[in-house]
Amino acid sequence: MSDTSTATDAPAARRSFWQALDLDTRLLGMIGAFVLVALVFNVLTDGRFLTPRNIFNLTIQTVSVAIMATGMVFVIVTRHIDLSVGALLATCTAVMAMTQTSFLPNVLGLELGHPMIPWITMLVGLVTGAIIGGFQGYLIGYQAIPAFIVTLGGLLIWRNVAWHLTDGQTIGPLNETYMLLGGINGTLGVFWSWALGLAAAVAAAVGLMSARRTKVSHGFPVKPLWAEGAIIAIVVAAILGFVAILNAYAVPERVVARDFERWGCDAAEGCTAAYGIPYSVLLLIAVAIIMTVIAQRTRLGRYIFATGGNPDAAELSGVNTKLLTVKIFAMVGMLCALGGIVASARLGYHTNDIGVLDELRVIAAAVIGGTALSGGIGTIYGAIFGALIMQSLQSGMAMVGVDAPYQNIVVGLVLVLAVWIDIQYRKLTGAK
């Protein structure tokens, strides 16, 4: 059979330079968009946007939506949609808030503040999310009800199940340990942030080099060594730069003075401390790594993308696409619970309107991040960047003082524009 591929000899040295680096152009585009947004707001706010404090806030505000968006990628890749994530988050936080404030203390007799309470609570939340999500997945996969309908019903049902469970009351205060996952309440501190950052940088460098060795051992073409080195340098710089920024956000003196022992000082006088990496951001990073490994390195991920590309082909290849749908939605349910833990821990209580409109933020994050609604295409890091870009836009506009309606109009425009750019990009590169 004939092959019409033509060997491309890059004549221009400049082109071969970029080819040698072999960068992910889509990732670059997303980073570029984020940098652009950040710079514009930084100018508009007279430099307040790109302060360690604001970047710290931005990351902790993004976490909840970003966690759920990683799951939404799998849903959209398999040509489904999940409109129920915000409502499911509310049901999960309602269950978790009730578990820790009334069920465990009153029914099981664990006194408030018992060390097991937060862990049992989170487990209960994750199981709740997985069961509800899995059940929705069963209706979609095995009963062939369109995902749009099942989760639209779910949007109404779970929002109001949460209301019913709590009688619409705000439930709190939540467990102290539980609230460590909220963001500013729980951070690694300077020393451990640096330690973790260095460990991550080393791991990234070793990982990239071992991937290169695997390629060489199979006789595949690899980048020139200088290009590999440059990429490792960029990645290491990015990791350490991120840590440096979060470590530059000093804890205000008043806060240190209130509880100087927590910040490792003997006395309040002269005690300085910085926040470092929040636990919630660590949770997001862990979720991102696990979801990326699932997407790229496991059969489950391979089947998710194959099903998205051609459901019939996947089925004829022996993939149980019905069970796959259940697994994906159960996964999203668990991620809703995780997002709920972060969101309610950040607030310090469960409220009746927690997660309202999150489904749209989550879908928008996945789509801005390059997930195609036609299925088969999407990345985890893209969804996280999408969430970050959305959050930057919103908090940036709030800082500038843009009126609320204009904020939403801009976010809506950006969503449509992002998808349009993505379509044009795919046309240009000839990808589907």
Partner 1 sequence: MNTGTPLVEMKDVSIAFGGVKAVDHVSIELYPGEVVGLLGHNGAGKSTLIKMLSGAYKMDSGQILINGKEARITTPRDARDHNIETIYQTLALADNLDAASNLFLGRELTTRLGFVDDATMEAETRKIMARLNPNFKKLKEPVSALSGGQRQSVAIARAVYFNAQILIMDEPTAALGVHETAMVAELIQELKKQGLGIFLISHDTREMMDLCDRVAVMKNGKMVGSERVEDVTEDDILSMIILGKNPKAAA
Q: Which residues bind partner 1 (CB under 8 A)?
A: 1-5, 214-215, 217-220, 293, 297-299, 301-303, 305-310, 312-319, 376-377, 430-432
User: Closest CB to partner 1 among 122 and 328?
Assistant: 328
- Of the candidates 281, 261, 396, 390, which has an alpha carbon nearest to the alpha carbon of residue 346? 281
CB of 430 to partner 1, least distance (A): 7
CB of 82 to partner 1, least distance (A): 21
Residues 140 and 172: their CA atoms lie apart, in Å, by 35
User: Closest CB to partner 1 among 29 and 311?
Assistant: 311
Say if CB 313 and CB 129 are below 8 A apart: no
CB of 369 to partner 1, least distance (A): 16
- Counts for the chain of helices (H) and strands (E), in that order: 17, 0
Q: Which two tokens stand for residue 169?
A: 């009351």
The string of DSSP letters for 286-337 reads HHHHHHHHHHHHSHHHHHHHHHHH-HHHHHHTT--HHHHHHHHHHHHHHHHH
User: Closest CB to partner 1 among 164 and 297?
Assistant: 297
CB of 7 to partner 1, least distance (A): 9
According to DSSP, the residues that pair with 76 across neighbouring strands are none
User: Closest CB to partner 1 among 64 and 379?
Assistant: 379
CB of 231 to partner 1, least distance (A): 18
Say if CB 369 and CB 30 are below 8 A apart: yes
Query: Residues of 63-101 as b/e, b for ≥16 C-beta within 10 angstroms?
Result: bbbbbbbbbbbbbbbbbbbbbbbbbbbbbbbbbbbbbbb
CB of 295 to partner 1, least distance (A): 11
User: Closest CB to partner 1 among 1 and 267?
Assistant: 1
What is the DSSP secondary structure assignment for residue 99, as one 8-state letter?
I
| Integer CA distances (angstroms), 427 to 5, 322, 420, 423, 432, in order | 19, 32, 11, 6, 7
CB of 114 to partner 1, least distance (A): 37
User: Closest CB to partner 1 among 53 and 426?
Assistant: 426
E strands, 153-251, in order: none
User: Closest CB to partner 1 among 46 and 429?
Assistant: 429
